[in-house]
Amino acid sequence: MALQHRYNGKTKFIIVTGGVISGLGKGVAAASIGALLSARMKVVPVKCDGYLNTDPGTMNPTEHGEVFVLDDGGECDMDFGHYERFLNVTAKKDWSLTMGRIFKMILEKERRGDYLGHTVQFIPHVTDLIKEQFYRIANQEKADVLLIEIGGTVGDLENQFYIEAARQLSHEVGDHNAIFVHLTYVPIPSGVNEQKSKPTQMSVRDLNKLGIYPEIVIGRCEEYIKPHLKAKIGLFCNLPADHIISGIDVKHVYECPLVYDAEGIPEILSKTLGIYAPPKLDQWSKLVDALKRNSVNPRKTLTVAICGKYLALEDSYASVVEAITHASAHLDLHANIRWVDTEKIENGTVSVETALKGVDAVIVPGGFGSRGIEGKIQVIRYVRENKIPFLGICYGMQLSVVEFARHVCGMQGAGTVEMESETNHVEVPVIAFLPGQEHIKDLGATMRLGGHDVVIKENSLAAQVYGSTAIRERFRHRYEVNPQYVEQIEKGDPTGANQQKLVFSGKAANEDIMQIMELTDHPYFMACQFHPELKSSLIHPAPLFLGLLKAADEKN
Protein backbone atom coordinates (compact mmCIF):
# COMPACT_ATOMS: atom_id res chain seq x y z
CA MET A 1 0.00 0.00 0.00
CA ALA A 2 1.54 3.35 -1.06
CA LEU A 3 2.27 6.00 1.53
CA GLN A 4 -0.55 8.52 1.77
CA HIS A 5 1.84 11.34 2.75
CA ARG A 6 5.23 11.76 1.13
CA TYR A 7 8.34 13.89 1.48
CA ASN A 8 7.82 17.49 0.37
CA GLY A 9 11.43 17.94 -0.77
CA LYS A 10 12.04 20.89 1.58
CA THR A 11 11.90 19.84 5.25
CA LYS A 12 15.09 18.83 7.02
CA PHE A 13 14.88 16.05 9.63
CA ILE A 14 16.87 15.89 12.87
CA ILE A 15 16.37 12.58 14.69
CA VAL A 16 17.50 12.33 18.31
CA THR A 17 18.08 8.90 19.88
CA GLY A 18 19.44 7.85 23.25
CA GLY A 19 21.58 5.04 24.54
CA VAL A 20 22.81 3.26 27.68
CA ILE A 21 20.18 4.53 30.12
CA SER A 22 16.99 6.60 30.00
CA GLY A 23 16.74 9.89 31.83
CA LEU A 24 19.87 11.41 30.26
CA GLY A 25 17.88 14.37 28.98
CA LYS A 26 17.04 13.66 25.34
CA GLY A 27 14.13 16.09 25.55
CA VAL A 28 16.36 18.91 26.75
CA ALA A 29 19.03 17.98 24.18
CA ALA A 30 16.49 17.96 21.33
CA ALA A 31 14.91 21.22 22.50
CA SER A 32 18.35 22.83 22.83
CA ILE A 33 19.29 21.86 19.28
CA GLY A 34 15.99 23.28 18.09
CA ALA A 35 16.60 26.49 20.05
CA LEU A 36 19.76 27.06 18.02
CA LEU A 37 17.72 27.05 14.81
CA SER A 38 14.34 28.45 15.83
CA ALA A 39 15.21 32.14 15.51
CA ARG A 40 15.42 31.81 11.72
CA MET A 41 13.59 28.57 10.91
CA LYS A 42 10.28 26.92 11.78
CA VAL A 43 11.21 23.96 13.96
CA VAL A 44 8.42 21.47 14.70
CA PRO A 45 9.06 18.86 17.43
CA VAL A 46 7.71 15.29 17.36
CA LYS A 47 8.04 12.90 20.32
CA CYS A 48 7.90 9.11 19.86
CA ASP A 49 7.13 7.12 23.02
CA GLY A 50 7.17 3.33 23.15
CA TYR A 51 4.54 2.76 25.84
CA LEU A 52 1.13 1.34 24.96
CA ASN A 53 -0.90 4.11 26.57
CA THR A 54 -2.52 6.25 23.89
CA ASP A 55 -1.30 9.27 25.89
CA PRO A 56 0.12 9.80 29.42
CA GLY A 57 -3.11 11.36 30.72
CA THR A 58 -3.97 8.50 33.08
CA MET A 59 -0.39 7.73 34.16
CA ASN A 60 0.74 8.37 37.73
CA PRO A 61 2.96 11.48 37.90
CA THR A 62 5.34 9.70 40.30
CA GLU A 63 5.98 7.08 37.61
CA HIS A 64 6.21 9.15 34.47
CA GLY A 65 6.50 12.78 35.58
CA GLU A 66 3.94 15.49 35.00
CA VAL A 67 1.41 15.45 32.19
CA PHE A 68 1.99 18.46 29.95
CA VAL A 69 -1.26 19.89 28.56
CA LEU A 70 -1.26 21.56 25.16
CA ASP A 71 -3.50 24.38 23.97
CA ASP A 72 -5.51 21.98 21.78
CA GLY A 73 -6.22 19.76 24.79
CA GLY A 74 -3.57 17.13 24.14
CA GLU A 75 -2.11 15.40 27.18
CA CYS A 76 1.55 14.80 26.40
CA ASP A 77 4.92 13.80 27.75
CA MET A 78 6.67 16.45 29.84
CA ASP A 79 9.29 16.86 27.09
CA PHE A 80 6.72 18.96 25.25
CA GLY A 81 7.25 21.50 28.02
CA HIS A 82 10.90 21.74 26.99
CA TYR A 83 9.91 22.04 23.33
CA GLU A 84 7.51 24.90 23.92
CA ARG A 85 9.82 26.75 26.32
CA PHE A 86 12.91 26.40 24.11
CA LEU A 87 11.40 26.67 20.63
CA ASN A 88 8.70 29.30 21.23
CA VAL A 89 6.09 27.09 19.57
CA THR A 90 2.55 26.09 20.49
CA ALA A 91 2.71 22.32 20.12
CA LYS A 92 -0.17 20.12 18.95
CA LYS A 93 -1.34 16.75 20.25
CA ASP A 94 -0.75 15.11 16.85
CA TRP A 95 2.95 15.76 17.36
CA SER A 96 2.93 13.23 20.19
CA LEU A 97 3.17 9.61 19.00
CA THR A 98 2.85 6.65 21.36
CA MET A 99 3.01 3.02 20.34
CA GLY A 100 -0.46 2.60 21.82
CA ARG A 101 -1.76 5.29 19.48
CA ILE A 102 0.08 3.79 16.50
CA PHE A 103 -1.35 0.33 17.16
CA LYS A 104 -4.83 1.80 17.63
CA MET A 105 -4.57 3.50 14.23
CA ILE A 106 -3.33 0.28 12.61
CA LEU A 107 -6.26 -1.72 13.98
CA GLU A 108 -8.77 0.95 12.93
CA LYS A 109 -7.34 0.92 9.40
CA GLU A 110 -7.50 -2.88 9.31
CA ARG A 111 -11.15 -2.92 10.44
CA ARG A 112 -12.04 -0.37 7.76
CA GLY A 113 -10.46 -2.58 5.12
CA ASP A 114 -7.74 -0.08 4.24
CA TYR A 115 -5.22 -2.90 3.78
CA LEU A 116 -7.38 -4.58 1.11
CA GLY A 117 -7.21 -8.00 2.70
CA HIS A 118 -3.41 -8.13 3.01
CA THR A 119 -1.76 -9.62 6.08
CA VAL A 120 -1.01 -6.69 8.41
CA GLN A 121 2.62 -6.81 9.58
CA PHE A 122 5.01 -4.70 11.64
CA ILE A 123 7.06 -4.11 8.51
CA PRO A 124 5.92 -2.49 6.31
CA HIS A 125 2.58 -1.48 7.81
CA VAL A 126 3.60 -0.19 11.26
CA THR A 127 6.77 1.51 10.03
CA ASP A 128 4.93 2.99 7.04
CA LEU A 129 2.29 4.46 9.36
CA ILE A 130 4.99 6.03 11.55
CA LYS A 131 6.68 7.56 8.49
CA GLU A 132 3.32 8.84 7.29
CA GLN A 133 2.90 10.70 10.56
CA PHE A 134 6.34 12.30 10.14
CA TYR A 135 5.62 13.38 6.56
CA ARG A 136 2.08 14.51 7.36
CA ILE A 137 3.24 16.78 10.21
CA ALA A 138 6.09 18.20 8.13
CA ASN A 139 3.70 18.96 5.25
CA GLN A 140 0.81 20.34 7.29
CA GLU A 141 3.04 22.60 9.40
CA LYS A 142 5.28 23.64 6.49
CA ALA A 143 8.20 22.86 8.79
CA ASP A 144 11.71 23.92 7.87
CA VAL A 145 12.97 21.36 10.38
CA LEU A 146 11.15 18.36 11.85
CA LEU A 147 12.82 17.56 15.17
CA ILE A 148 12.07 13.92 16.04
CA GLU A 149 12.89 12.59 19.50
CA ILE A 150 12.70 8.83 19.98
CA GLY A 151 12.10 8.16 23.66
CA GLY A 152 13.83 5.56 25.80
CA THR A 153 17.03 3.90 24.62
CA VAL A 154 18.21 2.15 21.47
CA GLY A 155 17.92 -1.24 23.16
CA ASP A 156 14.27 -0.87 24.17
CA LEU A 157 12.09 -3.42 22.38
CA GLU A 158 9.12 -1.04 22.11
CA ASN A 159 11.21 1.57 20.25
CA GLN A 160 12.48 -0.65 17.45
CA PHE A 161 9.69 0.31 15.03
CA TYR A 162 10.36 4.03 15.50
CA ILE A 163 14.06 3.49 14.89
CA GLU A 164 13.43 1.38 11.79
CA ALA A 165 10.94 3.97 10.49
CA ALA A 166 13.55 6.71 11.05
CA ARG A 167 16.16 4.66 9.19
CA GLN A 168 13.79 4.23 6.24
CA LEU A 169 12.90 7.93 6.30
CA SER A 170 16.58 8.89 6.19
CA HIS A 171 17.06 6.65 3.15
CA GLU A 172 14.00 8.10 1.40
CA VAL A 173 14.81 11.80 1.91
CA GLY A 174 18.56 11.51 1.26
CA ASP A 175 21.72 12.15 3.26
CA HIS A 176 21.60 15.96 3.12
CA ASN A 177 18.04 16.13 4.40
CA ALA A 178 18.28 14.01 7.56
CA ILE A 179 20.75 13.79 10.40
CA PHE A 180 20.91 11.50 13.44
CA VAL A 181 22.00 12.85 16.82
CA HIS A 182 22.77 10.26 19.48
CA LEU A 183 22.82 11.09 23.18
CA THR A 184 24.87 8.78 25.34
CA TYR A 185 26.80 8.66 28.62
CA VAL A 186 30.45 9.33 29.41
CA PRO A 187 30.89 8.37 33.09
CA ILE A 188 33.74 8.91 35.52
CA PRO A 189 33.55 5.81 37.76
CA SER A 190 34.16 6.36 41.45
CA GLY A 191 37.81 5.84 42.37
CA VAL A 192 38.99 5.80 38.75
CA ASN A 193 39.01 9.58 38.07
CA GLU A 194 38.99 9.00 34.33
CA GLN A 195 36.33 9.50 31.68
CA LYS A 196 35.23 6.22 30.12
CA SER A 197 34.10 5.87 26.51
CA LYS A 198 32.97 2.23 26.52
CA PRO A 199 29.24 2.92 27.25
CA THR A 200 29.22 5.30 24.27
CA GLN A 201 30.99 2.80 22.03
CA MET A 202 28.56 0.00 22.91
CA SER A 203 25.55 2.30 22.44
CA VAL A 204 26.68 3.50 19.02
CA ARG A 205 27.49 -0.08 18.01
CA ASP A 206 23.90 -1.09 18.82
CA LEU A 207 22.67 1.82 16.71
CA ASN A 208 24.96 0.79 13.83
CA LYS A 209 23.52 -2.73 13.94
CA LEU A 210 20.12 -1.16 13.23
CA GLY A 211 21.49 0.59 10.14
CA ILE A 212 21.89 4.05 11.66
CA TYR A 213 25.16 5.98 11.75
CA PRO A 214 24.85 9.19 13.81
CA GLU A 215 26.50 12.37 12.54
CA ILE A 216 26.60 13.92 16.02
CA VAL A 217 27.26 12.12 19.31
CA ILE A 218 26.50 14.04 22.50
CA GLY A 219 28.16 12.58 25.57
CA ARG A 220 26.45 13.45 28.86
CA CYS A 221 29.27 14.04 31.30
CA GLU A 222 30.26 15.71 34.56
CA GLU A 223 33.07 17.64 32.86
CA TYR A 224 33.97 18.49 29.28
CA ILE A 225 35.09 15.47 27.28
CA LYS A 226 38.88 15.44 26.95
CA PRO A 227 40.23 15.99 23.38
CA HIS A 228 41.90 12.57 23.27
CA LEU A 229 38.63 10.90 24.28
CA LYS A 230 36.69 12.85 21.62
CA ALA A 231 39.20 11.55 19.07
CA LYS A 232 38.81 7.99 20.38
CA ILE A 233 35.00 8.09 20.26
CA GLY A 234 35.11 9.72 16.84
CA LEU A 235 37.38 6.99 15.50
CA PHE A 236 34.99 4.31 16.75
CA CYS A 237 31.95 6.16 15.33
CA ASN A 238 33.53 7.10 11.96
CA LEU A 239 33.24 10.78 12.89
CA PRO A 240 35.60 13.75 13.16
CA ALA A 241 36.45 14.58 16.77
CA ASP A 242 34.56 17.88 16.53
CA HIS A 243 31.32 15.94 15.95
CA ILE A 244 31.63 14.55 19.49
CA ILE A 245 29.85 17.06 21.72
CA SER A 246 30.19 17.54 25.48
CA GLY A 247 26.74 17.41 27.03
CA ILE A 248 28.09 18.86 30.24
CA ASP A 249 26.10 18.78 33.49
CA VAL A 250 24.70 22.25 34.08
CA LYS A 251 22.98 23.97 36.96
CA HIS A 252 20.13 25.14 34.75
CA VAL A 253 18.89 23.37 31.59
CA TYR A 254 18.74 26.76 29.85
CA GLU A 255 22.54 26.70 29.65
CA CYS A 256 22.42 23.76 27.22
CA PRO A 257 21.82 25.74 23.99
CA LEU A 258 24.76 27.98 24.91
CA VAL A 259 26.97 24.94 25.53
CA TYR A 260 25.92 23.32 22.24
CA ASP A 261 26.54 26.57 20.41
CA ALA A 262 30.05 26.80 21.84
CA GLU A 263 30.67 23.11 21.00
CA GLY A 264 29.89 23.78 17.34
CA ILE A 265 26.55 22.08 16.68
CA PRO A 266 25.22 24.94 14.46
CA GLU A 267 28.21 24.58 12.14
CA ILE A 268 27.76 20.81 11.91
CA LEU A 269 24.06 21.19 11.08
CA SER A 270 24.84 23.85 8.50
CA LYS A 271 27.50 21.69 6.82
CA THR A 272 25.52 18.44 6.93
CA LEU A 273 22.03 19.71 6.11
CA GLY A 274 22.97 22.70 3.99
CA ILE A 275 21.05 25.20 6.11
CA TYR A 276 21.97 28.69 7.26
CA ALA A 277 20.49 29.56 10.64
CA PRO A 278 22.96 31.24 13.03
CA PRO A 279 21.45 31.25 16.53
CA LYS A 280 20.21 34.44 18.21
CA LEU A 281 20.80 33.96 21.92
CA ASP A 282 21.52 37.45 23.28
CA GLN A 283 18.46 37.80 25.54
CA TRP A 284 18.58 34.10 26.43
CA SER A 285 22.23 34.44 27.45
CA LYS A 286 21.53 37.46 29.69
CA LEU A 287 18.80 35.60 31.57
CA VAL A 288 20.99 32.52 31.95
CA ASP A 289 23.76 34.74 33.33
CA ALA A 290 21.28 36.07 35.90
CA LEU A 291 20.36 32.52 36.94
CA LYS A 292 23.99 31.46 37.23
CA ARG A 293 25.03 34.61 39.10
CA ASN A 294 22.21 34.28 41.62
CA SER A 295 22.98 30.60 42.15
CA VAL A 296 26.43 31.56 43.42
CA ASN A 297 26.10 35.09 44.81
CA PRO A 298 22.41 35.98 44.93
CA ARG A 299 21.12 39.52 45.31
CA LYS A 300 18.40 37.97 47.44
CA THR A 301 17.26 34.43 48.23
CA LEU A 302 13.59 33.59 48.63
CA THR A 303 12.34 30.29 50.00
CA VAL A 304 9.32 29.03 48.07
CA ALA A 305 7.38 26.09 49.50
CA ILE A 306 5.68 23.71 47.05
CA CYS A 307 3.06 21.84 49.07
CA GLY A 308 1.80 18.66 47.44
CA LYS A 309 1.63 14.89 47.62
CA TYR A 310 3.48 13.67 44.51
CA LEU A 311 6.89 14.32 46.02
CA ALA A 312 8.38 10.87 45.34
CA LEU A 313 9.30 12.26 41.91
CA GLU A 314 9.95 15.99 41.71
CA ASP A 315 9.28 15.81 37.95
CA SER A 316 5.62 15.60 39.01
CA TYR A 317 5.79 19.39 39.37
CA ALA A 318 8.46 20.08 36.74
CA SER A 319 6.67 23.00 35.06
CA VAL A 320 5.95 24.64 38.42
CA VAL A 321 9.66 24.55 39.22
CA GLU A 322 10.51 25.93 35.77
CA ALA A 323 8.00 28.77 36.15
CA ILE A 324 9.65 29.74 39.46
CA THR A 325 13.04 29.69 37.70
CA HIS A 326 11.76 31.93 34.88
CA ALA A 327 10.35 34.49 37.32
CA SER A 328 13.50 34.50 39.46
CA ALA A 329 15.67 35.21 36.39
CA HIS A 330 13.59 38.30 35.54
CA LEU A 331 13.62 39.53 39.17
CA ASP A 332 17.36 38.93 39.55
CA LEU A 333 17.06 36.71 42.64
CA HIS A 334 17.49 33.11 43.69
CA ALA A 335 14.48 30.96 44.58
CA ASN A 336 15.20 28.12 46.97
CA ILE A 337 12.48 25.47 46.77
CA ARG A 338 11.26 23.66 49.87
CA TRP A 339 9.20 20.53 49.26
CA VAL A 340 6.37 20.10 51.77
CA ASP A 341 4.51 16.79 51.95
CA THR A 342 0.92 17.67 52.86
CA GLU A 343 0.17 14.06 53.86
CA LYS A 344 2.60 14.47 56.76
CA ILE A 345 0.79 17.63 57.85
CA GLU A 346 -2.55 15.84 57.52
CA ASN A 347 -1.52 12.86 59.66
CA GLY A 348 0.23 15.03 62.26
CA THR A 349 3.78 13.85 61.55
CA VAL A 350 4.82 17.49 61.10
CA SER A 351 3.01 20.69 62.05
CA VAL A 352 2.12 23.30 59.46
CA GLU A 353 4.06 25.89 61.50
CA THR A 354 7.22 23.77 61.33
CA ALA A 355 6.75 22.91 57.65
CA LEU A 356 6.39 26.57 56.63
CA LYS A 357 8.82 28.16 59.08
CA GLY A 358 10.91 30.78 57.29
CA VAL A 359 9.21 30.47 53.89
CA ASP A 360 8.67 33.60 51.81
CA ALA A 361 6.04 32.26 49.41
CA VAL A 362 3.83 29.18 49.15
CA ILE A 363 2.42 27.29 46.17
CA VAL A 364 -0.27 24.60 46.36
CA PRO A 365 -0.16 23.01 42.89
CA GLY A 366 -2.64 20.81 41.04
CA GLY A 367 -3.47 17.21 41.87
CA PHE A 368 -6.22 14.66 42.13
CA GLY A 369 -7.87 12.59 44.87
CA SER A 370 -8.60 13.04 48.56
CA ARG A 371 -5.20 11.95 49.90
CA GLY A 372 -3.37 14.86 51.57
CA ILE A 373 -6.30 17.21 51.05
CA GLU A 374 -6.76 18.29 54.68
CA GLY A 375 -3.04 18.97 54.92
CA LYS A 376 -3.30 21.33 51.96
CA ILE A 377 -6.26 23.10 53.59
CA GLN A 378 -4.18 23.60 56.75
CA VAL A 379 -1.41 25.12 54.63
CA ILE A 380 -3.84 27.47 52.89
CA ARG A 381 -5.37 28.61 56.18
CA TYR A 382 -1.91 29.29 57.62
CA VAL A 383 -0.76 31.44 54.70
CA ARG A 384 -4.06 33.32 54.61
CA GLU A 385 -3.97 34.16 58.31
CA ASN A 386 -0.23 34.89 58.39
CA LYS A 387 -0.30 36.85 55.13
CA ILE A 388 2.37 34.88 53.34
CA PRO A 389 2.32 35.41 49.53
CA PHE A 390 0.43 32.48 48.03
CA LEU A 391 -0.46 30.94 44.68
CA GLY A 392 -3.00 28.12 44.37
CA ILE A 393 -3.18 26.20 41.11
CA CYS A 394 -6.19 24.14 39.96
CA TYR A 395 -6.84 21.91 43.00
CA GLY A 396 -5.04 24.62 44.96
CA MET A 397 -7.75 27.11 43.97
CA GLN A 398 -10.57 24.70 44.77
CA LEU A 399 -9.16 24.02 48.24
CA SER A 400 -8.61 27.76 48.79
CA VAL A 401 -12.34 28.23 48.26
CA VAL A 402 -13.10 25.34 50.62
CA GLU A 403 -10.81 26.79 53.30
CA PHE A 404 -12.33 30.27 53.03
CA ALA A 405 -15.87 28.88 53.09
CA ARG A 406 -15.14 26.88 56.24
CA HIS A 407 -13.08 29.29 58.31
CA VAL A 408 -14.28 32.73 57.20
CA CYS A 409 -17.83 32.24 55.89
CA GLY A 410 -18.73 29.79 58.66
CA MET A 411 -19.93 27.15 56.19
CA GLN A 412 -19.37 24.06 58.32
CA GLY A 413 -19.03 20.90 56.24
CA ALA A 414 -17.79 22.78 53.17
CA GLY A 415 -15.78 20.59 50.84
CA THR A 416 -15.33 19.26 47.33
CA VAL A 417 -17.25 16.38 45.82
CA GLU A 418 -13.85 14.86 45.06
CA MET A 419 -13.78 14.01 48.81
CA GLU A 420 -17.11 12.20 48.57
CA SER A 421 -17.04 8.48 49.42
CA GLU A 422 -19.14 5.80 51.11
CA THR A 423 -17.75 6.88 54.47
CA ASN A 424 -17.49 10.62 53.84
CA HIS A 425 -20.47 12.75 52.82
CA VAL A 426 -19.77 16.33 51.77
CA GLU A 427 -22.55 18.40 53.31
CA VAL A 428 -21.76 21.69 51.59
CA PRO A 429 -20.24 20.96 48.13
CA VAL A 430 -18.71 24.33 47.34
CA ILE A 431 -16.68 22.52 44.66
CA ALA A 432 -18.74 20.37 42.28
CA PHE A 433 -18.53 18.66 38.89
CA LEU A 434 -18.23 20.73 35.75
CA PRO A 435 -21.45 20.74 33.71
CA GLY A 436 -21.81 17.42 31.88
CA GLN A 437 -19.07 15.67 33.90
CA GLU A 438 -21.27 14.14 36.61
CA HIS A 439 -21.67 10.65 35.14
CA ILE A 440 -18.37 10.19 33.28
CA LYS A 441 -16.48 7.10 34.46
CA ASP A 442 -13.50 6.94 32.05
CA LEU A 443 -10.42 8.87 33.12
CA GLY A 444 -8.64 9.59 29.86
CA ALA A 445 -9.29 12.97 28.20
CA THR A 446 -12.63 13.46 30.01
CA MET A 447 -11.77 16.73 31.71
CA ARG A 448 -11.86 20.36 30.71
CA LEU A 449 -8.61 20.29 28.80
CA GLY A 450 -6.43 22.71 26.87
CA GLY A 451 -6.54 26.42 26.20
CA HIS A 452 -9.60 28.50 27.10
CA ASP A 453 -10.25 32.23 27.23
CA VAL A 454 -10.62 33.93 30.61
CA VAL A 455 -12.27 37.30 31.24
CA ILE A 456 -10.75 39.24 34.13
CA LYS A 457 -12.57 41.78 36.28
CA GLU A 458 -11.34 45.33 35.80
CA ASN A 459 -9.34 46.95 38.63
CA SER A 460 -8.64 43.55 40.18
CA LEU A 461 -5.22 42.28 41.26
CA ALA A 462 -5.45 39.71 38.47
CA ALA A 463 -5.92 42.47 35.89
CA GLN A 464 -2.94 44.30 37.37
CA VAL A 465 -0.75 41.17 37.30
CA TYR A 466 -1.66 40.27 33.71
CA GLY A 467 -1.89 43.82 32.43
CA SER A 468 -5.04 42.76 30.61
CA THR A 469 -8.66 41.78 31.15
CA ALA A 470 -8.64 39.08 28.47
CA ILE A 471 -6.21 36.16 28.66
CA ARG A 472 -5.89 32.57 27.46
CA GLU A 473 -4.60 29.82 29.75
CA ARG A 474 -4.55 26.01 29.87
CA PHE A 475 -6.83 23.80 31.94
CA ARG A 476 -6.97 20.23 33.19
CA HIS A 477 -9.79 19.62 35.66
CA ARG A 478 -13.22 18.03 36.21
CA TYR A 479 -14.47 20.20 39.08
CA GLU A 480 -15.43 23.85 39.50
CA VAL A 481 -16.63 26.30 42.11
CA ASN A 482 -20.28 25.45 42.69
CA PRO A 483 -22.18 28.46 41.28
CA GLN A 484 -24.94 28.22 43.90
CA TYR A 485 -22.44 29.17 46.64
CA VAL A 486 -20.54 31.95 44.83
CA GLU A 487 -22.61 34.84 46.22
CA GLN A 488 -22.44 33.51 49.79
CA ILE A 489 -18.67 33.00 49.60
CA GLU A 490 -18.04 36.49 48.19
CA LYS A 491 -20.06 38.03 51.05
CA GLY A 492 -17.42 36.71 53.45
CA ASP A 493 -17.75 36.54 57.23
CA PRO A 494 -21.44 36.91 58.14
CA THR A 495 -20.46 38.33 61.56
CA GLY A 496 -18.24 41.01 60.04
CA ALA A 497 -15.37 40.08 62.37
CA ASN A 498 -13.04 39.07 59.50
CA GLN A 499 -12.54 41.84 56.96
CA GLN A 500 -10.90 39.65 54.32
CA LYS A 501 -12.97 39.27 51.18
CA LEU A 502 -12.73 36.62 48.49
CA VAL A 503 -13.19 38.02 45.00
CA PHE A 504 -13.73 35.83 41.94
CA SER A 505 -11.80 38.05 39.55
CA GLY A 506 -11.66 35.76 36.53
CA LYS A 507 -14.42 33.83 34.76
CA ALA A 508 -14.77 31.65 31.69
CA ALA A 509 -15.42 33.72 28.59
CA ASN A 510 -18.81 32.24 27.73
CA GLU A 511 -19.80 30.41 30.90
CA ASP A 512 -20.38 31.39 34.51
CA ILE A 513 -17.41 29.31 35.70
CA MET A 514 -15.00 30.87 38.22
CA GLN A 515 -11.39 30.73 36.99
CA ILE A 516 -9.45 33.15 39.24
CA MET A 517 -9.89 34.09 42.88
CA GLU A 518 -8.02 36.58 45.06
CA LEU A 519 -8.22 37.87 48.61
CA THR A 520 -8.33 41.43 49.88
CA ASP A 521 -6.28 42.47 52.94
CA HIS A 522 -3.39 40.21 51.92
CA PRO A 523 -0.06 41.03 50.22
CA TYR A 524 -0.66 38.40 47.49
CA PHE A 525 -3.25 35.65 47.69
CA MET A 526 -4.05 34.44 44.18
CA ALA A 527 -5.48 31.16 42.96
CA CYS A 528 -6.49 30.00 39.51
CA GLN A 529 -8.35 27.05 38.04
CA PHE A 530 -5.89 26.83 35.13
CA HIS A 531 -2.20 25.91 35.05
CA PRO A 532 -0.20 29.09 34.39
CA GLU A 533 3.08 27.17 34.62
CA LEU A 534 2.33 25.44 31.30
CA LYS A 535 2.75 28.66 29.30
CA SER A 536 5.73 30.03 31.22
CA SER A 537 9.11 30.32 29.49
CA LEU A 538 12.49 31.86 30.18
CA ILE A 539 11.74 34.77 27.84
CA HIS A 540 8.08 35.15 28.88
CA PRO A 541 7.57 34.16 32.55
CA ALA A 542 4.06 33.37 33.79
CA PRO A 543 2.54 36.59 35.25
CA LEU A 544 1.08 34.87 38.33
CA PHE A 545 4.48 33.41 39.27
CA LEU A 546 6.22 36.71 38.56
CA GLY A 547 3.66 38.45 40.79
CA LEU A 548 4.13 35.87 43.57
CA LEU A 549 7.92 36.27 43.75
CA LYS A 550 7.69 40.03 43.34
CA ALA A 551 5.27 40.21 46.28
CA ALA A 552 7.55 38.01 48.38
CA ASP A 553 10.55 40.16 47.45
CA GLU A 554 8.73 43.38 48.37
CA LYS A 555 7.38 41.90 51.61
CA ASN A 556 10.91 41.11 52.71
List, by residue number, the catalytic residues: 394, 531, 533
Contact 530, 454 (CB under 8 A): yes
Instruction: Work out the number of other CB atoms within 10 angstroms of the CB of residue 353.
Output: 11
For 23, residues 6+ apart whose C-beta sits below 8 A from its C-beta are none
Separation CA 321–CA 327 (nearest Å): 10
Q: 312: closest CA among 58, 59, 62, 23?
A: 62
Separation CA 518–CA 530 (nearest Å): 14
* Residue 445 CA: distances (Å) to CA of 67, 292, 296, 437: 12, 39, 43, 12
Strands 178-185, 12-18: pairing is parallel
Q: At what angle do helices 265-273 and 256-263 cross, to 10 degrees?
A: 60
Q: 405: closest CA among 387, 372, 381?
A: 381
* Residue 65 CA: distances (Å) to CA of 77, 134, 278, 320: 8, 25, 33, 12
Angle at 300 between CA 295 and CA 306, to 5 degrees: 75
Separation CA 96–CA 67 (nearest Å): 12
Separation CA 406–CA 488 (nearest Å): 12
Q: What burial letters (b/e) apply to 439-467, b meaning 16+ CB within 10 Å?
A: eeeeeeeebbbbbbebbbbeebbbbebbe
